[in-house]
Structure 1
Amino acid sequence: MAISLSKGQKVDLTKTNPGLSKVIVGVGWDTNKYDGGKDFDLDASVFCLNAAGKVGSDTDFIFYNNPKNANGSIEHTGDNTTGEGDGDDEQVKIDLSAVPAEVEKIAFCITIHDAETRSQNFGQVSNSFVRIVNEATNEEIIRFDLGEDFSIETGVVIGELYRNSGEWKFSAVGSGYKDGLGGLARDFGLQTS
């Protein structure tokens, strides 16, 4: 049975699930009905961070246009431009045993594509979640439902996998960004043009 987390909670992943190495991180969301006339396109992205909390290179930023990190241990499975339907809207597959040693933390984010142009924000998004699934058994291990406490934010760090004493843990973050992907990229040390 999945462990349901609240914002700020941390939980062991590999220590409580011996032998776990391949996981699927699924994210999902719905949009509230509104009459802005523009489609909503939310995007999941991943930042592989070193001990300083920064990306080592551009390949450490994984999203639909850069679907794998350098060694292929983290893979974004594709862009969902509508968020329609139940279940995961986007997924990231991770082989925890193959993640490069210099990666201390893997941050999972959701941003709204063209949010400023389309006048969209997370106040118009509901039922957002992140979940971790054992790829071998398809069993949901951890789930974090974000709740509705966002308004003007256009990007959210939903959760982080991080190393601790040789094991992987998960932290339910739920931290919003008013300046979306640009703000996330800046804070995580990604050079943007």
Structure 2
Amino acid sequence: MAISLSKGQKVDLTKTNPGLTKVIVGLGWDTNKYDGGKDFDLDASVFLLNASGKAASEKDFIFYNNPQNSNGSVVHSGDNRTGAGDGDDEVIKVDLSAVPQEAEKISFCITIHEAQERKQSFGQVSNAYARIVNEATGEEVIRYDLGEDFSVETAIVVGELYRHSGEWKFSAVGAGYKDGLAGLVKDFGLA
């Protein structure tokens, strides 16, 4: 049974699941009724961060146009342009045993493509979640439902996998950015 987290909570991942090395991080969302005439395109992205919370290079920014990091330990499944249907909208596979040692954190984010131009924000998004699944068994081990407490934000740091005493943990972050992807890129040292 999956552990359900609230914003700010942290939980052991590998310590409580011995032998777990390959996980699937599923991100999903729905859009509320929207009459702006433009499609609503949300995108998952991942940043591999060093001890100072920065990405060492562009290769540590994984998204639909750069679907994996240098050694292939973090792989993005591809862009879902509509978010239609049930289940995960975008998926990232992570081989925890192969993540480069200098990567202390793996930050999972959702952004709205062309949010400013389309006048869209996370105030128009509902049922956003992140879940971690054991790739070998298909079992959901962690779930974080973001709730509806966003308004003008155009990017969200959903959660982070991070190293702690030789184990991997997950933190439910739920931090919104009104500067979209540009704000994330800048904060993570790539701008």
Q: TM-score range by the shorter chain?
A: over 0.9
What aligned pairs does 1:1-193 form with structure 2 within 5 A after superposition?
A: 1-191=1-191
Q: Distance in 2 between matches of 1:34 and 1:75?
A: 31
Paired letter, 1:16: T
**1:24-63 CA-partner distances (Å, limit 9, x unpaired):** 0000000000211110000000000000000011000000
Q: CA RMSD in A?
A: 0.3
Paired letter, 2:58: D
**1:121-175 CA-partner distances (Å, limit 9, x unpaired):** 0000000000000000000000000000000000000000000000000000000
Q: Distance in 2 between matches of 1:49 and 1:186?
A: 13
1:101 match: secondary structure: coil
Tell me the TM-score normalised to structure 2 length: 1.00
Tell me the TM-score normalised to structure 1 length: 0.99
Following TM superposition, by how much is the alpha carbon of 1:103 offset from its aligned partner in structure 2, in angstroms? 0.1
1:97 match: secondary structure: helix
Q: Distance in 2 between matches of 1:77 and 1:142?
A: 20
Deviation beyond 6 Å, 4+ runs, structure 1 = none
List runs of 5+ in structure 1 lacking aligned partners. none
Q: Distance in 2 between matches of 1:2 and 1:94?
A: 18
Matched-pair identity in %: 78
Paired letter, 2:79: D
Corresponding residue pairs, total = 191
Q: Distance in 2 between matches of 1:19 and 1:3?
A: 18
